[in-house]
Chains A and B, each alone.
Chain A
Amino acid sequence: MSQQNHIILAANHLVKTYTQTTGRFGLSSNKINALDDVSISLKAGTTLAVVGESGSGKSTLARCLLQLHPFDSGEVIFEGCNLANLDKNALRSKRQHLQMVFQDPFASLNPRMKVGEIVGEGLQIHGLGSAAEQKEQVLQMLKRVGLSADDAQKYPHQFSGGQRQRIGIARALVLKPKVVVCDEPVSALDVSVQAQILLLLKELQQEMRLSYVFISHDLRVVRHIADDIVVMNAGKIVEQGSIEAVYNAPQQPYTQQLLSAIPGRKAA
C-alpha cells in the first residue's frame, strides 16, 4: 500500500482573482478572490472531494488544476512536474493523464459528433495506436461504461442524462488517465441514475487505479465516494482532512453548519 501514499497531484498556494463590475451600469468594480491561497494534495488511487456552496471557488479550482483557467500565482504539480511551466505541446501530452468529467452531460458533448467520434477524439489527438486499434479501444470503453457497440454510431441527443454521463466518462477514461477531475458529475441526475454512476466510478477507480478530484455540493454523495475532503468557502479552504474525521468531528463552525444542513439529517 506504499504506492497509495504518494502524492500524484498537488496545488500549492493557488491565487485567482476576478474583477467584477458592479452598480447598475457596471461603472464600478470590485475584486473577487475566487481562490485565496488554496493548497490541496491528492494521494494516488484515492478520491479527494472538494465541497462548498455556490461561489466558494470549487469549480474554479477544478479548472485551474487542469490549466483550463489561468491563475494569478501558485503552482500545480502533477507527478513532480509544474504544469504552469509547460508549453502547449508538453501540456497536451500531460493532459492525456489528467482528464475531466463535466457536470452537464447535455452541454459538454458536441451534438454534431457521433458518440464513437467523441470518445475516440482524444486517442486521435494524442496519436495513440492505429485507426483500427483506436476503434477497438473506443468500443471496449463504451461496453465497459455500460453502453453497446452500436451506440458508437449514434448522436448524443439519442441518449438519456445518465447515458450521456457514461459517454462523458468513457471519453475521459479511454485515454487511460491517472487523475480524473469530476466536476459535479452526478448533480444533474436522478438518484437512481446517480447511484449507477457512483458505482461505475468506484469500479473504474479500482480497475484502472485512478485518482479522483471530486467536486460536489452534495454531502451525502461525498461521504459515499471520497477518502479525503476539502471544505471551501469564499475562495478559502476552511477545513481539510480524512472524510471520517471531518464528518465525525468537524472543527470549523462553517463545516458544522454545512453538515447540519444536510436534508434528512434528523430522520437518518
Chain B
Amino acid sequence: MIEILNISNLSVTPKNAPNRLLVSNISFKLSAGKTTCIVGESGSGKSLTALSVMGLLSRQLQAQGSINFQGQELTKLDKKALQRIRGAKIGMIFQEPMTSLNPVLTVGYQIGESLTAHLGLKNAALKTKIAALLTQVGIPSERADSYPDELSGGQRQRVMIAMAIACEPLLLIADEPTTALDVTVQAQILKLLDELKTRMNMAMLFITHDFGVVADIADDVIVMFRGEIVETGSRNQVLNNPQHPYTKALLACVPDIEGKKELKPIDYAWLKTGLKEDKAAA
C-alpha cells in the first residue's frame, strides 16, 4: 500500500492559550485508494484536523507536530510552497456548495483557474479539459458557461468536485461534503466520490458526523472525541465491533432503519470517569 499522508503527534492549540488542546496529539496514516472517515460530534476536532493538513487554520490557531505528505513536511513549508501543493496534489471539497463558489464567475472559469495556475493550461486545451472534467462528474459540458445560481445544490457540489480533482490530486479532503444535500442527491454524490477515488487511486480523507455515510463510503474509520482519537479501525471493526466506550455510546444514539433499537443518550458524566480509568489502566 502506498502511503500518501502520515500525521504524527499533531496538536492544535489557540496561540494565546497553548495549553488548551483543541486537537490533542493525534497520529494516523492515509494510503492511496483508501477512504478514511473521521467521525465525531461538533467540537471533536475533526474539521480542525482537515484544516491543519491544508494549512488553512485560522490565524488564532497553531498546529504542532508532523504532517508528512509524500516526504514533504507540510508544517514547515512557506505559503508559496504550500500553494503549489494545495489545489494540485491535495484537493478539497467543503460543506456548503452554495457559499464556496463565486457567484459572478461561470463555473467553467472557476474550474479552469486551478488548471491554469498549476498546469499552465490555456485556450483550447483548457476548454477541452474543463469539458472533460464536467462530463466526468456527471454534468453536461455545455454547463461550463452557467453561473452557480443556475445550478441545483447537487450540481454545485459536482462542480466543487470537478474543481478539486482537476489537477488529479493524490489526496482528496472532503469536509462534510453531503451534509447540506437531500438524501437522494447525497447518495449520488457519495457514489461519484467513491468511483473517482477508485479510478484515480486517490487517498480520501472524509469528515462526517453521519454514521450512515461512514457505512457507505469508508474503508477505515477514525473516531474523535474532544480533540482526541479514541478509536481507529476498519469500517466493519468500528461499526460492528466497537471497542471504545465512547464509540459504543455514539453508535447507540444512531436510529436504525427498522426502528427496533432503543436509543440511549450518552452519559457524559460516566464517560468522563470511564475515560480517565481507561487512561490510568493504559
**A contact set with B: CB distance below 8 Å:** 53-54, 161, 190-196, 198-199, 217, 219-221, 223-224, 243, 247, 257-258, 260-268
Contact = CB atoms under 8 A, between A and B. Distances in A.
Contact of A263 (B153, B186, B250, B258): B186
A191 B184 contact: no
Interface of B: 41-42, 153, 182-187, 190, 209-216, 235, 239, 249-250, 252-259, 261, 263-266
Given A191-B41, A192-B41, A198-B263, A219 B215 contact: no
Contacts of A194: 253
B253 A261 contact: no
Contacts of A261: 183-184, 186-187
Nearest to B182: A53
B215 A264 contact: yes
Contacts of B212: 220, 262-265, 268
Given A53-B183, A192-B265, A192-B266, A265 B257 contact: yes
Q: Give the one of A53, A191, A194, A217 with max B CB within 10 A.
A: A191
Contacts of B266: 192, 195
A97 to B, nearest CB: 28
A219 B255 CA distance: 9
A190 B183 contact: no
A254 B215 CA distance: 23
B187 A263 contact: yes
Given A199-B265, A266-B216, A243 B259 contact: yes
Nearest to B184: A261
A87 to B, nearest CB: 39
A217 B263 contact: no
B3 to A, nearest CB: 27
A45 B3 CA distance: 57
B184 to A, nearest CB: 4
B257 A195 contact: no
Contacts of A198: 255, 263
B266 to A, nearest CB: 4
B183 A191 contact: no
Given A220-B256, A247-B257, 16 more contacts: A53-B185, A191-B41, A191-B210, A191-B250, A191-B253, A192-B253, A195-B265, A221-B255, A261-B184, A262-B183, A262-B257, A263-B186, A263-B210, A263-B213, A264-B216, A265-B216
B168 to A, nearest CB: 28
Contacts of B216: 263-267
Nearest to A202: B263
A161 B209 CA distance: 16
A198 B263 CA distance: 9
A257 B184 contact: yes
Q: Give the one of B183, B187, B254, B266 with max A CB within 10 A.
A: B183
